[in-house]
Amino acid sequence: MRFKFSIPHNLVIVFSIIIIAAVLTWIIPGGKYDRHSVSVNGVERSVIVNNSFHYVESQPQTWQIFSAFYKGFINMSHIIVFILMIGGAFWIMNETKAIDVGIFSFLGFTQRMERYRMVKWFGVNNIIITFIMILFSLFGAIFGMAEETIAFAVILYLFQYQWDTIRLLEYVYVILQLISDLPAQY
């Protein structure tokens, strides 16, 4: 019987990475950079001093690998809770079919728009793409979303089949960067 390879569970992969990192603490010597505080837009930040690297005493890891998960969960609990809340919200929207209803009503709206001469001249697809790009650009300017929106290039692909993938990604990224670089209004 042949051995059948299957990808291990994600926690096995993460724990393997932790073990590899712990083994490397016995091999790679410890080092440190000096830091100093700098005020950036009224916020104090700790930055690295150029050419300040020096070796320090190594701290080889052994049994600390078993507490790495716990410490990681404690240190990043705010992100874990945020992801669970977003996942729950998407589950609720999926179970209530709110996303499906929203998409179908939007498609019905765009079909009704096609009867107008000006909209037909511009093209409904072009208007929708422009609207989506403005929406994503606002997300980039207000919430700081930039790279996250590249995943939404699939939406643009649904409206313009003749575009290649590179053109879609460039379109999304360039417009997001242009809008994100506008000066903030406070």
Domain range summary for the chain, segments of one domain joined by +:
1-75, 114-186
What pLDDT was estimated at residue 186?
A: 41
Q: Digits of tens for pLDDT over the chain (186 positions)?
A: 677 888 888 889 988 998 999 999 999 999 999 999 988 778 888 889 999 999 999 889 888 888 888 898 899 898 889 888 988 888 898 899 887 888 788 778 877 888 888 888 877 777 777 777 787 777 777 776 666 666 666 556 555 555 566 666 676 677 666 666 655 544
What pLDDT was estimated at residue 129?
A: 73
Asked if residue 33 lies in contact with residue 62, where contact means CB atoms within 8 angstroms, the answer is no
What pLDDT was estimated at residue 20?
A: 94
Q: How far apart are alpha carbons 107 and 99 in whole angstroms?
A: 12
**pTM higher than 0.85:** no
Partners of 54 in beta bridges: 32
Q: How far apart are alpha carbons 87 and 83 in whole angstroms?
A: 6
